[in-house]
Chains A and B, each alone.
Chain A
Amino acid sequence: MVTSSQNRPGTPSPAGSTNEGPEPRGPRNTTGRSVSLFLDRSFQQRAGIWIRKRGVGPYLLLLPATAVIAALILWPAVQVGLFSFQNYGLMQISGVLPTQWVGWANYSQILHDHEFWVSLKISVYFAVVVVPLTLIVGTLVGLLLERLGPKMRMFVSVSAILAWATPAVTASVVFANLVGTDGGVVDWALAKLPSWLGGGAHWAGYSWTNAALPAYTVLTVMLVWTGFPFIAVTVLAALRTLPSELHEAARVDGAGPWRDFWKVTFPLLRPVFLVLALLSTIWDFGMFTQAYIINGQLGNPDQYNLGLYEYAQAFTQPPHYGVASAAAFVLTIILLIVTVGYVRAAIKQGALA
């Protein structure tokens, strides 16, 4: 802000040229530097000095991003929080009836709702299966990438990134067609398989989407497929920061690849894995788009995860935006608890390292 070269300290301007601006001249300072600045600089530059002296620079730099986040995330979140304590439906949103404050009624309705517990169970089971699977597959591919030659590494990375870059809707529609009952290639292939491999005619026309277990199996495969490249690339980047001496030393001491990974690589990359696990949990636990498409839009409540449950509360007739907001808050609180757990673990790791 105040570093333009022609105004370096020690090159004071003639006194006669310093009468711009309404500000009174400051008392002469012993350094001479700020005096010349105050005498010669424009308002912007003087403001810059003030900012630096007070140490508010970093906060000012954060301001634009904070404002955007506040407008796009915090304010809607506050609104959702308010709705969750209101009887908020069509009549309220269109202004026909005033909003009513209902206290904890929306929350108690959810907690007494059988469908909520079904959907919570599905979300938890799903995250518990998908997050470790994604991490394992991603890490294995990351390790593979590190060992590949440059050309092959490029080829594998690009292939993986394409899976990651596939939009959720596109991937879901593709998978829905793969497992379709009429002409889906999965059913066709399973029906052709010999019976000792688990195949057989009973697979022809098998519906993967009309019960929770098969539907979420398809979703598991799809989310691992779209989720592992990010893990793989992140792990690869982290692996390349590790000094090779450590691996050499381990090998000299007789460690095979398995022990090398668990005794050297994994402890050093633990913070990275923690972040990846946290992000994967948030993504998979709150999944909506893919489940909505694979389940054939909403389908029946016995196949809802939390995302679909919330959507059903808000957007099926008659809409209960208040109840849906409460459900959204419950989901947020669950994720916050998970996040706090991860962050604590990460801090502990940092303290131990």
Chain B
Amino acid sequence: MGLRKRSAVIGAAAGVAAAALAIAGCSSSSSSTSSSAATGGATGNAATSGASSSASGPASLTVWRMGGSVPSQVTWMNSVVAEFHKEFPQYANTQVNVKWIPWGNRTQDWNNALSSGKNIPDITELGNTDTPAEAATGILAPLNSNLSSWSGTKGLVPGMLANDTQSGTTYAVPWFGGVRAVWYRTDQFKKAGITAAPTTWAELQADAVKLQNAYPGTAGFDAITNDTNAFASFIWGAGGQIATQDSSGKWTGNLTDPKTEAAIKYYVGLYTTAKVSPSKYIGQTELGNAGATSGGPNEDFGLGKLDMYIDGPWAKATLPKNSVDTANISSFPIPSQNGPNPAPVFAGGSDLAVFKTSPNQQAAWDLITVMDNPANSTSFAALSGFFSPYSAEITASENTGGPFMAGFAKAALNGQTAPLNAKNWATADNGKLNIIPTMLKQLMQGAPFDSTVAAANTQLANVLNTGSAS
């Protein structure tokens, strides 16, 4: 447990970007958490700015959280607000409103807030892969002067902070990190005669078949097309890349590289030849249709219709209430092509940022310093199976996750983010083009391999370089 492992963990989390991105919304309910300036478990903390000067704070601060309201997170937020009021007496009368934004609506809602000037958040959570694009779009306030005087800054994982920095200006602070792994049920593995978690593609496919045979009517695996954050692990697990950037900043698409093509062939084959994934997952995210906030593999796994699927630990919150068995749920890292080490995994997470047009810049930053201090960010991460953004806290929590978290912890040792945090990645991987999802979908539906992959590769390079496919 020496320095080597520790730095590996840090490096893993360093790549952090939005796991959050592909959570793709939990539920569309939005609720407000207002908090009185009273009680709360607040003990003054080291990581505060104390820089606030105004005598009377704003009447209210609005925080946009992503996903659906989760009770434990509401409780957490209430205690943070109490701490905020205690630490910054000038904000004692400032009400903090939390608005829950479904993941699928976030860019639309940011755009509306920016363009209309109405209903703007003071603070917004955003997926780490969103940050470069949104910073370039101009919705985030620069934080350099705040960061230089904040005691929390130096403890943050440097790579996570670097992801939020463009040309020397930092636009967001990392709040938590997270990774995906394969979910399975230990009781099902036992009945199917699987003694050890698969560590190669061949084993993964064979185990999916075994599970389907042991549990007729279920699907063995979820070869969904619209979750590039998960599919990336197959490309990286074959030693391939999605796209690479040279020293001059020019992107080259790598989809037609033999290693990447091997990953595409294997993944498409899970549906077309191995038949371990149902046709309905074509065109779906892990939560069903592109804009859906529940359903899909996540729901099917909970209901016992799907034996293994890829998701992050945060997805426990969206499992259906009538899930058949939550006691035996466990996880293993996404296998690489030939094992024995797991495939690199997309290092996701969320950031906190001050909205550029917020009239309460200082108060918003002051609240961030409380939400994101080491104690609060770590307790928040622990609520949902995330990792803290602080190097010291990650090291401390390495061995405390339990069996369900073990697979994720192992996966987190091997994280990668590029090119999923490229400035134009949002254009490449969302509704306008959905380049890789559409390519996988068309291949699964019988399109010719070489020309389809080549067309997607050209499109990808064009978009990453110019922001436009043509």
Residues of chain A having any CB pair with chain B under 8 Å? 90-91, 93-94, 96, 109, 112-115, 181, 205-207, 209-211, 296-302, 312-313, 315-319
Contacts and interface: CB of A to CB of B under 8 A. Distances in A.
Given A114-B469, A312-B432, A298 B426 contact: no
Contacts of A315: 108, 431
B321 to A, nearest CB: 16
The main secondary structure of chain B at its interface with chain A is loop
B307 to A, nearest CB: 15
B137 A91 contact: yes
B279 A207 contact: yes
Given A90-B137, A181-B280, A318 B437 contact: no
B147 to A, nearest CB: 23
B438 A300 contact: yes
Nearest to B467: A318
B430 A302 contact: no
A90 B283 contact: no
Interface in B133-156: 133, 137-139
Contact of A317 (B278, B292, B427): B427
A139 B430 CA distance: 43
Contacts of B328: none
5 contacts: A90-B139, A115-B469, A205-B279, A297-B104, A318-B426
B107 A205 contact: no
Interface in B425-466: 426-427, 430-434, 437-438, 441-442, 445, 455
Contact of A300 (B114, B283, B469): B283
B290 interface: yes
Interface string B51-70: 00000000000000000000
Interface centre among A94, A115, A312 (most CB of B within 10 A): A94
Nearest to B300: A182
A112 B111 contact: no
Contacts of B11: none
A299 B467 contact: no
Interface of B: 104, 107-108, 111, 114-115, 117, 133, 137-139, 225-226, 278-280, 282-284, 288-292, 357, 426-427, 430-434, 437-438, 441-442, 445, 455, 467-470
A91 B138 contact: yes
Given A206-B280, A211-B283, A300-B438, 10 more contacts: A94-B117, A210-B284, A298-B431, A300-B290, A301-B432, A301-B433, A315-B431, A317-B133, A317-B137, A319-B111
A114 B278 CA distance: 29
Nearest to B357: A94
B15 to A, nearest CB: 22
Contact of B283 (A114, A210, A316): A210
Nearest to B437: A300
A302 B115 contact: no
B290 A316 contact: no
A296 B279 contact: no
Contacts of A313: 432
A300 B226 contact: yes
Contacts of B139: 90
A112 B458 CA distance: 14
A96 B467 CA distance: 20
B430 A317 contact: yes
Contacts of B426: 317-318
Contacts of A207: 279-280, 282-283
A127 B215 CA distance: 45
B280 A205 contact: yes
B291 A90 contact: no
Contacts of B434: 300-301
B129 to A, nearest CB: 11
A233 B225 CA distance: 45
B179 to A, nearest CB: 24
Nearest to A318: B137
Nearest to A109: B470
Interface centre among A109, A206, A210 (most CB of B within 10 A): A210
Contacts of A93: 115
Contact of B289 (A94, A112, A299): A299
Contacts of B225: 300
Contacts of B114: 90, 94
Ordered nearest first, which 7 A-B pairs have the shortest CB separation? Answer: A296-B289, A297-B291, A210-B283, A317-B107, A316-B431, A298-B431, A181-B280
A109 B283 contact: no
Contact of A115 (B282, B284, B433): B433
B432 A316 contact: yes
A114 B458 CA distance: 12
B429 to A, nearest CB: 10
Given A90-B111, A113-B470, A297-B291, A318 B133 contact: yes
B280 A316 contact: no
Contacts of A297: 104, 289-292, 431
Given A299-B290, A301-B434, A211 B445 contact: yes
Contacts of B226: 300
A317 to B, nearest CB: 4
B386 to A, nearest CB: 24
A297 B290 CA distance: 7
A109 B427 CA distance: 15
A319 B138 CA distance: 13
A115 B432 CA distance: 9
Nearest to B283: A210
Interface centre among A300, A312, A316 (most CB of B within 10 A): A300
Nearest to B427: A318
